[in-house]
Structure 1
Amino acid sequence: MPADRVSTARPVDRELRRLLRQGTFAQVLDHCLNVRGLSLKRLQDDLEARGAHMSRAALSYWRNGQCRPERDESLRAVRALEELFGLPESALVSLLGPPRPRGRGAEPGSVDRKRMWPGHDPLVASLAVSADEGLRHLSVHEDVRVGADRRLAEVSTRMVVEAARDHVDRCLVYQWVEESELPELAASRFCRPGRTRRDETAGATVCELVLDQRLMAGERTVVEFTWKFAGGPELTHYHRRFTRPVRELVLQVEFTGPAPANCVPYRQRTPADPARRGHPLWIGLTGAAHLVVEDVRPGIAGLSWEWD
């Protein structure tokens, strides 16, 4: 057998046999690559020699569990992987499960990210990351500070997140402003800023936050970050957008100057849908209004107020 080819011997190590019985496609692929000391470039070359053409980016996504093979060409590559690694026929294919539904019905109860953040889609695409970042948001606590000039000054966010798949090491956060300068990420805890993309015309910002630790499926962590704002019009509302259900939202708006005349919670399905308003909230002596919602459905939850 040539030295530059991958061995096709039957699986013999105990961990591989266990993963083939109980593991995921991504875990088996990662294990085989690690045991054999193969780079993605080497793997790509071996697949090419067998007529399976896959990019290194796609192979990396498969290995990390960010996406899985579903197209006909991808499934041909999976069968080539079985041959390369000396695995029984259909050993990897059987780990893929049924194809995931696509389109509007892809995830019941969710809202398409493009509908919720229409101006951000080109920025996300430029980062060349999976649209599904692999994180569930369990709770979101957001502290919004409005200056004495009635303008947005600062937003601090604390999120508890859970990995929906293995090898999750980052998340994307979004900001949108209207008729004001784009915000700056001023601080972060339990993570560090990665790449940032901006579109001043659309008022859109996307920032990649790299987690302190790589999460396996079911593991949880906390992410904290603060945005600083400069300039902008008089603020009369603030909201949080959710594409998936969240167990708890705590939205706190602090007015550092005189408090507005009233403050009302509202909900929307998407930015294009009409708002449904609730009962007025009390603004305490500290000049803060609080919105606490459990089992938040996908959509928009926010507060609006009148100054005079």
Structure 2
Amino acid sequence: MNAPDPHRLRRPAENDFPTAFARALTSQGRTLEWLRSRLADRGTPVSLATLSYWRSGRSRPERLASLDALDQIESLLRLEPGHLRNRLGPSRRVGPDGASAPIPDIAAMHADSIGDALRRLGFGDGWGMIDLSTHVVLRIDADRALRRVSTRTLWRCQHDRADALPLIYVPSDPDETVPTIGLVRGGTVEQILSDTPNMLAARIAADRPVRWGEEIVVEHELEFPGVSDDCYEHHVVRRMQEVLIWVQFDPARLPASADVYWHDADDGSRIEPVDITGLTTLHHRRRGFGPGSLGIRWRW
């Protein structure tokens, strides 16, 4: 019998964390309002809406502040350290890439609102282009905060004519501020929906209409208010030629360690440590990849 591969990860059941969280609350006879109040007293505030999302499985702890709060929750609910955290599995955060074809599984819980936004933007029947390759660049400042994400995507027209693309961003945490659109290259922002809470939904018009088989490159930047971050994950809904994630750190504040991870149907889930000695940036590239997800996470 072959020894198990230490780099392979178990993917927990989708409801593993929320079920354990709900059971812990019930067994201790505690309410979410009680928990919210105690977390605030301990200096790790979490809104009632976020706690409700965690319990129902609509979202889960992802950012450093949320994970710190999760440690306090385990203590408050008299659980063994790691009882809840170990049930989170790999990050499920959605990168701010323009939505394409099927909505990624991570966004399935927002499928109705995303579908409605796409219809209102004029994409009810799709948009006639597929993404071939994507390069994502993240900029982390000296306060360990994410400030900007630039996404450059190569698109190919698959219909007789196409002239626009959607940009959808849904925060994984309802308390997270929705980013704003910065520079756009290869196109212009034609429409932004102003009445979609907790979602950025926009229509980007290509520089000119494209025909079957033509390829274009569109780049957009998202500006973030600056929230401490320690991971990024990109989801791919079809096989792509290349996906590249590049994280740029401020030289004054570099991570202590990092690893890359990915999951697809062929290779399962894997994680590999990265030697970051002397580096101010990290990258993760996969070729001929998808459908699946890949990411980078780092520790300060």
- Give your verdict on TM over 0.5: yes
Equivalent pair of 1:160/1:222 in contact (CA under 8 Å) = yes
> How many residues get paired?
192
Pick aligned residue for 2:199 from 191, 201, 204: 204
- C-alpha displacement of 1:277: 3.7
Of structures 1 and 2, the one with the larger relative CO (CA 8 A, separation 6+) is 2
Note if contact 2:138-2:247 (Cα within 8 Å) is conserved in structure 1: yes
- Confirm whether residue 276 of structure 1 aligns to residue 266 of structure 2: no
Is the alpha carbon distance of 1:237 and 1:114 closer, same or farther for their aligned partners in structure 2, counting shifts above 3 Å? closer
Given the superposition, is the C-alpha separation of residues 265 and 114 from structure 1 closer, same or farther in structure 2, using an over 3 Å criterion? closer
1:305 and 2:298 aligned: yes
CA distance, structure 1, for counterparts of residue 187 and residue 101 of structure 2: 27
Are the equivalent residues in 2 in contact too, given 1:193–1:207 (CA < 8 A)? yes
Q: 3-state SS of the aligned residue for 2:160?
A: coil
Identity among equivalent pairs (%): 23
Q: Aligned match of 2:103 in 113, 138, 141?
A: 113
Larger Rg: 1
Question: What's the counterpart of residue 192 of structure 1?
Answer: 188
The verdict on how the C-alpha distance between 1:124 and 1:152 changes in structure 2, with shifts beyond 3 A counting, is: same
**1:151-166 aligned within 5 A:** 151-166=145-160
Cα shift readout 1:229-280 (whole Å, capped 9, x = no counterpart): 0033x2121111222221101110111142222221223469xxxx934211
Paired residue for 1:260? 255
Q: CA–CA distance in 2 between the matches of 1:241 and 1:198?
A: 26
CA displacement 1:120-163 (0-9 Å, x = unmatched): 33322332423522112111111101111111100111111110
Unpaired runs of 5+ in structure 2? 1-99
Report the Cα distance in structure 2 between the residues aligned to 1:165 and 1:214, rounded to whole angstroms.
11
Corresponding residue SS for 2:118 = helix
Give CA-to-partner distance per residue, 1:16-53, whole Å, 9 cap, x none.
xxxxxxxxxxxxxxxxxxxxxxxxxxxxxxxxxxxxxx
- Normalised TM-score (structure 2): 0.58
Residue aligning to 1:132: 126
Give the corresponding residue for 1:227.
Answer: 222
Cα distance, 1:153–1:163 mapped onto 2, change above 3 Å: same
Equivalent-residue separation in structure 2 for 1:241 and 1:165 (angstroms): 24
Report the residue type matching 1:189 in the other structure. R
CA contact (8 A) 1:248 1:294 kept: yes
Partners of 1:151 and 1:176 lie apart in 2 by 18
TM-score by length of 1: 0.57
CA contact (8 A) 1:136 1:161 kept: yes
With over 3 angstroms needed to count, the CA separation of the structure-2 counterparts of 1:198 and 1:278, relative to structure 1, is farther
Counterparts of 2:275 and 2:190 in 1: how far apart (Å)? 39
1:238 partner amino acid: Y
Alignment correspondent of 1:180: 176
RMSD of aligned residue pairs (Cα, Å): 2.5
Q: Post-superposition, which runs of at least 4 consecutive aligned residues in structure 1 deviate over 4 A?
A: 198-201
Cα displacement string for residues 193-238 of structure 1 (whole angstroms, at most 9, x for unaligned residues)? 122236775x322221100111111001111111110033x21211
